Every structure is written in structure tokens, then in C-alpha cells.
């Protein structure tokens, strides 16, 4: 389960903290209908553009429109409450795990419990997920005083997140993203004395740009960026899939903001679950772009993806397109993963090797689908940086 939201959440135990299963499903249905209708040019029930000569709406139609707007606002409020509850529950589990790492004998049971909640999330049972996560956090950290501190830390951090999101405009759709790295140099301009490698982190389904920065491993990736000397860019994964050419522009924006020269010959990708598939698409785009550029189209900012790591999700080259220039590939999976079982990753590794790629496969027997990320993050980053 990868849901993560910057919406501040209410305290556990409050009346509105756990939205009902029915309300959450209604919110998702309403949001889907609204987004679908906007995509084709109008709001539900309102049709397309109204001619200037049309008659003024009747009192009945005005009342219907008002009722519809109120229903949509209520659905949005319910959806935000559900997102906030899920974000709080997930972050408290990650804080508990980092504060009190479980014994190896406990890992299998914890991962299985977490992944059962994951399946409830995909089934729309938000209240079940929140309750299961709270129980899991209490199980990991039984000290009530420490749990209370972690809950307060969670609420404080969630309230800070909206100010940390950047938006890459000029794309369709715009791409929300997060940025972290070494401290910028003193003074104005870009320091060109040193070029910094870049790790682009792509979250899984249900998450957003905050997942790798805050949730997976309780914020370990930004710390690693500072400790090991690299820049991390964490975009909204789905937006990257439809915003052509976003990756080079993200590097441009990060360089300008940090005041650091980025090493475009040392770009690394890490993707979790759905993000693993997106990592493959970005590599394909980077490999195929030079041949695709023709005529008067401006060339993209040159970059080289040196290596990619796919966690709890298969990835690799497709059956068409170029694969000779693909980078080394690391596949990491959990032996208990119900969504991306080891057999899927093994098949992906075999397929990539058959196409000539350098592939390493790691299966951790007691890990599952999501908690795996925090457990392996440091090792994976070090593997990436060692490839170039």
C-alpha cells in the first residue's frame, strides 16, 4: 500500500479520523466521475459549452447544479480525510520500524500483516487499512509514550509537506516533485567545481512525490543523499508517464534551485512496484530519443542513465526497441510479496539477461511488498552509485 498525502490528519481516535468504508468508496467514485467528465469537456450532467444565446438556467437547473457542487465538495472532503488517515497510519508504521527495528524472527509476520492491509486498500476498505496499520504500529513499538511522540511527529510532518512540493510547469500534465541533496554553496549561481550524481525515485501505485522522501524508510533517502553526496529527485510517477521529456527538464530545474552542477552522465533510477515499470519507460525514452529526434525538433538535454533498481516490481526492456544501451539492472523482491511474487521478478531477470543486459536479482525471504523498500534502501543506493 503506497498511499501518502500531504493533507494534515486529525489525531488517532478522533471521530473523523477513520472514514467509513462506504464513504471512502463513494468519494473515489465521485472523484473518478468528476475527473472523467472534465477530461471530455464538461462537468457531470452539465454537458458541453453553452451557446451565448441560450436561455438563462431555470430555478430547477440552478438547484440541481448547486446540489451537485455540494455533493462534489463533500466527496472531495471525504477523499481528503481518507488520504490523511492513510498517510498518518503509514508514516506511523515507518517511524515505529525505524525507531525499533524488528528482530529477524518477526519480519515475516510483520510483512504479511502489512501486505494484508495493502490488499484491503486496493479493495477500497480504507477504515480496515487504518485500523490494521495502527495495530501494527502498536505491535512494533509497544511503549505508549514513544508511540504518542511518533504520532505527534507524524502530524507535524504532514502539515509541513505542502510547502515542500514543487511543480514542473510547461508539461502536460504538470509534474509535482520533491528535491533533496547536499547543501547549496554560498553565493549566487551554480557551483561547477563538482558535478553531483542524481537519483530519480519513482513511487508505487497510490503514492505521490512524498513517498520516497518521507514514508519509505521514514525519510532515509534524503539523509543518504546528504551522507553519500548525490541529489535525489522524487516526482509523481503517473505524471512522469504522460509528460514527455519531463526528466531532462527536472534535472534543469533541480540544478537551478540547488545551485549545484548535476552530473548528467550519472543519472540513476529507483522504482517501487508501479514505479519500477515507469523506470523502464524512462530508460526506453532515454535510449530511443537520439534516434527519434529529427528535423527541427530541439534535442533534449543530454543525460545518461547509468543504472536502475526495481523494487517489488518487474522491469526491463520490452520486446521492441533498442536494448543495447540499457544500463545495469538490479531487481529486488520479497519472498512473501503477494503482488509481485519472486517468480515474476525471476522471469523479468531471465528475460533481461536473454537480451544481453547485466542483471542482478535479490530475493529477501522474509520481506513483502512495501516494507521491503525501507529495509533495502541504503544497500540499493550504494549499488546504484557503484555502477558509475
238-296: pLDDT as tens digits: 999 876 689 999 999 999 999 999 999 999 999 999 999 999 999 988 876 554 444 44
Does 58 fall in a domain?
Answer: no
In this predicted model, what pLDDT tens digit does every residue of 57-93 receive, in sequence order? 677 788 888 888 898 998 888 888 988 999 999 999 9
Q: What is the CATH number of the domain that holds 217?
A: 3.40.50.1820
Q: Which of 22-26, 140-144, 196-200, 249-253 has the lowest mean pLDDT?
A: 22-26
Indicate if the pLDDT at residue 7 is higher than 50. no
Residue 214 sits in the same domain as residue 352: yes
DSSP 204-259: -TT--TTIIIIIGGGTHHHHHHHHHT-EEEEE-HHHHHHSTTHHHHHHHHHHHHHT
Same domain for 189 and 96: no
Domain encompassing residue 16: 1-38+69-158
Are residues 151 and 180 both part of a single domain?
no
**Could you tell me if residue 51 is inside a domain?**
no
- CA–CA dist 268, 231 (Å, integer): 10
Residues 134, 218 within the same domain: no
Tell me: do 371 and 243 sit in the same domain. Answer: yes
Is pTM beyond 0.75? Reply is: yes
Helix (H, G, I), strand (E, B) or coil at 384: helix
Q: What would the pLDDT profile of 288-341 be if each residue is shown by its tens digit?
A: 655 444 444 455 567 899 999 999 999 998 755 566 789 999 999 999 999 999
Amino acid at each position: 500500500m503506497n498511499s501518502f498525502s500531504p493533507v494534515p490528519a486529525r489525531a488517532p481516535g478522533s471521530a473523523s479520523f477513520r472514514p467509513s468504508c462506504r464513504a471512502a468508496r463513494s468519494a473515489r467514485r465521485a472523484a473518478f466521475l468528476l475527473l472523467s467528465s472534465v477530461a471530455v469537456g464538461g462537468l457531470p450532467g452539465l454537458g458541453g459549452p453553452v451557446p451565448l444565446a441560450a436561455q438563462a438556467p431555470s430555478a430547477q437547473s440552478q438547484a440541481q447544479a448547486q446540489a451537485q457542487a455540494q455533493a462534489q465538495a463533500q466527496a472531495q472532503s471525504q477523499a481528503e480525510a481518507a488520504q490523511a488517515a492513510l498517510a498518518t497510519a503509514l508514516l506511523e508504521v515507518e517511524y515505529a520500524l525505524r525507531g525499533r527495528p524488528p528482530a529477524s524472527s518477526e519480519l515475516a509476520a510483520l510483512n504479511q500483516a502489512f501486505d494484508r492491509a495493502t490488499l484491503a486498500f486496493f479493495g477500497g476498505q480504507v477504515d480496515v487499512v487504518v485500523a490494521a496499520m495502527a495495530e501494527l504500529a502498536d505491535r512494533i513499538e509497544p511503549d505508549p509514550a514513544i508511540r504518542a511522540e511518533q504520532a505527534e511527529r507524524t502530524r507535524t510532518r504532514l502539515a509541513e509537506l505542502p510547502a515542500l512540493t514543487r511543480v514542473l510547469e510547461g508539461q502536460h500534465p504538470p509534474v509535482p516533485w520533491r528535491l533533496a541533496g547536499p547543501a547549496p554553496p554560498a553565493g549566487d549561481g551554480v557551483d561547477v567545481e563538482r558535478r553531483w550524481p542524481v537519483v530519480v525515485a519513482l513511487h508505487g501505485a497510490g503514492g505521490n512525490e512524498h513517498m520516497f522522501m518521507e514514508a519509505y524508510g521514514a525519510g532515509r533517502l534524503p539523509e543518504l543523499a546528504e551522507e553519500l553526496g548525490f541529489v535525489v529527485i522524487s516526482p509523481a510517477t503517473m505524471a512522469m508517464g504522460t509528460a514527455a521529456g519531463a526528466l531532462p527538464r527536472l534535472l534543469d530545474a533541480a540544478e537551478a534551485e540547488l545551485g549545484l552542477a548535476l552530473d548528467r552522465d550519472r543519472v540513476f533510477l529507483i522504482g517501487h512496484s508501479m514505479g519500477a515499470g515507469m523506470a523502464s519507460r524512462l530508460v526506453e525514452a532515454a535510449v530511443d530519443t537520439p534516434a527519434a529526434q529529427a528535423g527541427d525538433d530541439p534535442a533534449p538535454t543530454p543525460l545518461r542513465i547509468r543504472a536502475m533498481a526495481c523494487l517489488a516490481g518487474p522491469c526491463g526492456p520490452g520486446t521492441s526497441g533498442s536494448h543495447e544501451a540499457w544500463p545495469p539492472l538490479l531487481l529486488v523482491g520479497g519472498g512473501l510479496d503477494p503482488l509481485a511474487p519472486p517468480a515474476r521478478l525471476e522471469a523479468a531477470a531471465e528475460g533481461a539477461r536473454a537480451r544481453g543486459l547485466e542483471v542482478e536479482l535479490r530475493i529477501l525471504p522474509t520481506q513483502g511488498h512495501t516494507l521491503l523498500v525501507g529495509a533495502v534502501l541504503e544497500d540499493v543506493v550504494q549499488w546504484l552509485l557503484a555502477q558509475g
